[in-house]
Structures are given as C-alpha cells and as structure tokens.
Chains A and B, each alone.
Chain A
Amino acid sequence: MSGTDTPTTAPAVTRAEYCVLACAEAWRDAGEVLASPMGTVPMIGARLARLTFAPDLLLTDGEALLMGDVPAVGAPPGVVEGWLPYRQHLALVATGRRHVMMGASQLDRHGNQNISCIGDWRRPTRQLLGVRGAPVNTLNNPTSYWVPRHSPRVFVERVDMVCGVGHDRAEAAGPSATRYHRLPGVITDLGVFDFETPDRVMRLRSLHPGVTVEQVREATGFPLAVPEEVPYTRDPTAEELRLIREEIDPRGLRDREVRA
C-alpha cells in the first residue's frame, strides 16, 4: 500500500456518531424546508446535513432566529438570515415546509407518539410535557422521531395518549388527517426504522454497526417487521466525521445523549 494519508489512529466511529449520521439522512432530499430537530443528536444531524448534502435547509437557533451559517451546537449564529418567532413557526408548520424530528416517550407500531403523560390521562401516574405541537406537526409536515434509548418502555403496544398521530389513527379519521400526514422514519440508538410495510407498521430499516436484530427485538415491546436482509447504517465519510467532531460538536455533547 502506498497511501499514507489515511490516518490509522483516528478513533473508531462511535454509536453516537452513527446516530448523528442517521438523523442527518432524515433530511436528505428534504429541499428548502425548515429542519426542526428536537434533541442534541438530531440537532447535530440537521447541521451536518446542511453542511453536506442538504445545503438548502433552514435552521433556527432554537429560539426565533434563522441561522445564515452553521455554528457549533450551543454557539450563537454568526449570520442571521431570518426571523421565526413562535407565531410564525406555528404558521410555517401549516404550510408544510418543514420536517420536524420530535422525541417520543412512547411510540407504537403504527407510529402513534406520546409525550403527554403515562397512565390514565385524567390522573396520570407520570405527567410529562403535555401534547405540545405534536398534533399540528403530524397532520401538516413530515415528522420523524428520535429515541436515544431504545427500550420496551418506549416502544409499546399502545401509547397512553396519542399526541403525534400514527398511520392507523390518521386513516381512521379520513382525508383531512391523511392529506399531509407523513412519518418518514424513527431513529434510535440501535438502528433506523420506517413504516414501509403493506399495513404501515414499524419496520427495521438498518442496524447501527455492533447491534443485532435480536437486541432490537428484545428492546421493542411489539412484534417488529424485520426484512430478511437488514443492512447496517452506512459509515460516515472522513469529512462527515471531521464536521461532527471538529465543527459541529467539538465538546462531544452527542455522547451525553447516547451511551458509547
């Protein structure tokens, strides 16, 4: 071998970095829309997508400013290209020009999501955030989900309160619900999932390297659709790794959300 410029001492790709990459992929081909990542890893992913294969994405500073550049996570933008206060953000959701990646305290096989409360809604055993914008998001613009700790407590047979609307509920409600309803995928610390089955139930799309199908099945509280051949989540390029490690998340905040 004559090549000498491949660093052999570079640290191996971590699980958190595969998660960042999988999140970034959610915005591939999204076009000129607002990327709304919720959570640290999706935020790093959206910025990676913007710096590489999805340069037209709009990103906010997490409050009311649209960023003209792509600063490191936690740093203010150096360039501001627009204004998006909450009232405009809610209106933008209704235009559909947005792809949001939300969290999920519970998620079922049809893609119904809960962030409101656990137990009986009238008197919950565990009150969480509340419904927030999940109903408006899921009926108006593409909504993906990020789950940093894949477990049977999150992936349940039935969610306790439907905040984000899943495929079965949307279809039962009719055309007003299905017209703009789209759930492109679910990304977890174990793999990538979608709903591309005949009955629109959750399917394993790729495993992060080091994860087995059995591991995913055990961590999922409902029978998961698993194709005969399951690929691994793709490796990041050297440039993607550099961007993640040096430009977007030099402090390694991704490792706080995803265990090594």
Chain B
Amino acid sequence: MTAEEVVGRLRSGMTLGIGGWGSRRKPMALVRALLRSDLTDLTVVSYGGPDVGLLAAAGKIRKLVTAFATLDSVPLEPHFVAARQRGAFELVELDEAMMMWGLTAAVHRLPFMPIRAGIASDVMTVNPSLRTITSPYADREELVAVPALRLDAALVHLNRADAHGNGQYLGHDPYFDDLFCEAADTAYVSCERIVETSDLLKDAGPQTLLLKRAFVDGVVETPNGAHFTSCAPDHDRDEAFQRHYVAAARDPEAWREFTARFLSGDEDAYQAAVAAFHEEEA
C-alpha cells in the first residue's frame, strides 16, 4: 500500500495508536500523510514525540492519551507544549506503566488491568473517571484499574516487513509496537524496506519478528520513513533537522516557512527537501 491508502482507510474521530517512543522509531511518513489529509477530531494514544507535536500543531487532535511528549535530546516537544498552553486538546495523562497496562488489557480483551502505579498521585485527580479495585484476596490491596486502551487503528514503523505484514525490528528496543497493533481493530506498518519472507531471518534471529501478519492490515515501504526520529540501525535520529524543527516550532513565522518548505508536498518532496537542508548545512 501507499501511505495515502493507509490514511484513506482511516476516519475522522477515530482512536489512533501511534508506535515508537518519544523521538524514536515513529511512523513519521504515515504521520506526514495524516497531515496532508483532511482527517481531524482524532483521539491519539502515544508515548509522545514529534508525532504528537505535528498532529497537535495541525489541529488534528481532539483528545491525547499519553504519559509525556519529548524529543529525547531536546526534553520538551515544542508543539505539544504550545498546544497544552492554549488548551488545544483534551488530555488523558497516564503514567508510562499505566499506558503499557492499558494497551495490554486491550490486547487481552479485558476491561482493565490492576496496577499499583497512580494511587496517591494526581493522575487520579486529573482523570476523574479512573477507578480503583480492591483485591479479593486476603491482602485487600487497593489498586488502580487501568481501563483497556482499545484502538480503532494503529500506525507503527519497523525496519523490515514482508508484504503480508510480518514485521521485524533490528534495533535494541521493540518499544510497544506489537501491543499497539494487537490492541487495534486495524493496524498499518510502514517499514524501511519490504523484503521476501524468506529473507527476514537471513541476518537476524526469530526474536526480531515483532509483528505477526494476523495483526497487520497493511504494509507500506517508506525508506527513511521514521525521519527525523531514530530508526537504528537503518538511520539515527537527525539531530540537526530536529533542532531546526524545534527552532521553527517556537516562532509562528518560522513555522510557516518550515511548513511551506517541508510539509506542503508529498513524501518524496519531503525527503528531497531534507536532503537539500543537509546540503545547505554542510
């Protein structure tokens, strides 16, 4: 499929899970395709990075479910910060482990999972719908019942996949991309390269096969598709470009220029503009 075809299967108002973590292996080419679409009113579930920032800046998020938004080497995501300070979307702010447990509950088709995290913190007060549950055993412990984070669709980016949706990560961390896909009614994976199934294990062990085709509905080949986030070992984070993004995001005029230069054409135009940016910087 193409990124446009993926977005063509999504609808405004959907709950969308986005894989990766912070500024690491985000499905940025799919996010850029979302930016080009007229989809809006989205509920986004993400360990937030520039995916959240770009969608927030474009006004596409109605509700965000996250524990943070960061660019890693730059601690604060500037568009997320600005959007929060102007009250641009509803926020469900959960602890990192609560997020994992909420996705896990959805994968297991359970209504909730119990977790100690959250008790006594303001996560409980800013999310008044969160409930606790008392252990039925002798300990009688009171724990948070994290509701299942069921998704209409998941978008993730991996290093390799075959055309059927068997997805492979080659870096050090799978993040939570399998949970996102299994918690979703439909899941789409973009990858650096689509390979023959028989080639998946040529240079890597079977434990790198993170996604099973039964949980993937579409595969898109998007070389450099996590840019400017990291996608080790295929490409590192583009720190120079990320700094440029941050500087532009902090100034409305600079952001208009950034949008005109990088986000007004298709993915090929984006990648060409990024290459030109680096030639200028060199």
Task: List residues of A whose CB falls within 8 A of some B CB.
Answer: 63-65, 83, 85-87, 90, 93-94, 116-117, 121-136, 138-140, 161-165, 169-170, 172-177, 179-180
Please report the C-alpha to C-alpha distance between residue A33 and residue B120 in the assembled complex, in whole angstroms: 25
Choose from B85, B87, B96, B120 the contact partner of A177 (Cβ within 8 Å).
Answer: B120
Which A residue's beta carbon lies closest to that of B104?
Answer: A87
The stretch of B69-77, B147-155, B186-194 in contact with A is B69-77
Which B residue's beta carbon lies closest to that of A116?
Answer: B93
B274 interface residue, CB < 8 Å from A? no
| Contact in complex: B68, A64 (CB < 8 Å) | no
Choose from A129, A135, A170 the contact partner of B95 (Cβ within 8 Å).
Answer: A135
How far does the Cβ of A23 sit from chain B's closest Cβ, in whole Å? 19
| Contact in complex: B117, A136 (CB < 8 Å) | yes
Which 5 A-B residue pairs are closest in the complex by CB-CB distance? Answer: A136-B117, A130-B68, A173-B120, A127-B84, A64-B172
B48 interface residue, CB < 8 Å from A? yes
The stretch of B121-129, B221-229, B247-255 in contact with A is B121-129
B98 interface residue, CB < 8 Å from A? yes
Choose from B68, B100, B175 the contact partner of A131 (Cβ within 8 Å).
Answer: B68
Choose from B67, B97, B126 the contact partner of A161 (Cβ within 8 Å).
Answer: B126
| Contact in complex: B120, A133 (CB < 8 Å) | no
Please report the C-alpha to C-alpha distance between residue A117 and residue B86 in the assembled complex, in whole angstroms: 13
| Contact in complex: A134, B95 (CB < 8 Å) | yes
Choose from B67, B119, B142 the contact partner of A130 (Cβ within 8 Å).
Answer: B67
- Interface class of chain B by DSSP: loop
In the bound complex, residues from chain B placing their C-beta under 8 Å from that of A138 are: 121
Choose from B70, B85, B97 the contact partner of A125 (Cβ within 8 Å).
Answer: B85
Please report the C-alpha to C-alpha distance between residue A32 and residue B116 in the assembled complex, in whole angstroms: 23
Beta-carbon contacts of B162-199 to A below 8 Å, as 1s and 0s? 00000000001111100000000000000000000000
Number of interface residues of B (CB under 8 A): 40
B245 interface residue, CB < 8 Å from A? no
In the bound complex, residues from chain A placing their C-beta under 8 Å from that of B85 are: 123-127
| Contact in complex: A90, B100 (CB < 8 Å) | yes
B39 interface residue, CB < 8 Å from A? no
Please report the C-alpha to C-alpha distance between residue A90 and residue B21 in the assembled complex, in whole angstroms: 14
How far does the Cβ of B237 sit from chain A's closest Cβ, in whole Å? 12
Given contacts A131-B121, A134-B121, A139-B116, contact A90 B97 (CB under 8 A): yes
Please report the C-alpha to C-alpha distance between residue A129 and residue B93 in the assembled complex, in whole angstroms: 11
| Contact in complex: A129, B70 (CB < 8 Å) | yes
In the bound complex, residues from chain B placing their C-beta under 8 Å from that of A173 are: 119-120
Beta-carbon contacts of B126-151 to A below 8 Å, as 1s and 0s? 10000000000000011100000000
Which A residue's beta carbon lies closest to that of B70?
Answer: A129
Known contacts A87-B176, A123-B85, A135-B119, then 20 further A-B pairs from the complex at CB < 8 Å, ordered by chain A residue: A63-B173, A64-B172, A85-B173, A86-B96, A117-B84, A127-B81, A131-B122, A132-B68, A132-B96, A133-B67, A135-B97, A135-B118, A136-B96, A136-B98, A139-B116, A140-B117, A162-B120, A173-B120, A176-B116, A176-B142
| Contact in complex: B93, A131 (CB < 8 Å) | yes
Please report the C-alpha to C-alpha distance between residue A129 and residue B87 in the assembled complex, in whole angstroms: 16
| Contact in complex: B87, A122 (CB < 8 Å) | yes
Which B residue's beta carbon lies closest to that of A181?
Answer: B120
Which B residue's beta carbon lies closest to that of A121?
Answer: B126
